[in-house]
Amino acid sequence: MWSLGDVCIYQHENKVYDLFVIEEINLENSLVTVRSSSYTTSCYFSDLLNITPENVKLLCENDKITSTLDSVDYSYFATKLNTLLNLPLSMVCFKSSIK
């Protein structure tokens, strides 16, 4: 079950996967409002993906995420994903390990 503030992976309308945070949950119609860095939308619970090693690989196809991580301290994000996935840090880095 998803909760407010959970981080998830969701596919934009343009078929690109991104990290989102759950901002609102409507149990009556099973809709959630999710927000990424530049996009907010509503979707069904079934459209959300958990953060797993397999699903994180989908993020590598998102040029916006990889370029953002290149321009900031991406090790911070890799450390956060490492905590969620319980993987060695070298397996989480976006540069080349997951591709």
Indicate whether 40 and 56 sit together in one domain.
Answer: no
46 within 8 A of 53, measured Cβ to Cβ: no
- Going by pLDDT thresholds of 50, 70 and 90, the confidence category of residue 75 is low
Q: What is the pLDDT of residue 63?
A: 66
User: Which tens digit of pLDDT belongs to each residue from 4-63?
Assistant: 988 899 987 778 888 888 999 999 999 999 988 778 899 999 999 998 888 888 877 776
Indicate whether 61 and 92 sit together in one domain.
Answer: yes
| Crossing angle between the packed helical segments 63-71 and 74-85, to the nearest 10 degrees | 120
Indicate whether 62 and 89 sit together in one domain.
Answer: yes
Cβ atoms within 10 Å, residue 2: 13
DSSP secondary structure of 39-88: -EEEEEGGG-B---HHHHHHHTT-HHHHHHHHHTTHHHHHHHHHHHHT--
Indicate whether 57 and 40 sit together in one domain.
Answer: no
Indicate whether 16 and 27 sit together in one domain.
Answer: yes
Range of the structural domain that residue 8 is part of: 1-50
- What pTM value is reported for the model? 0.64
Q: What is the pLDDT of residue 11?
A: 87
* 77 or 2, higher pLDDT: 2
Indicate whether 56 and 77 sit together in one domain.
Answer: yes
Indicate whether 22 and 60 sit together in one domain.
Answer: no
Q: What is the pLDDT of residue 46?
A: 92
Please tell me the total count of domains within the chain: 2
Q: What is the pLDDT of residue 3?
A: 92
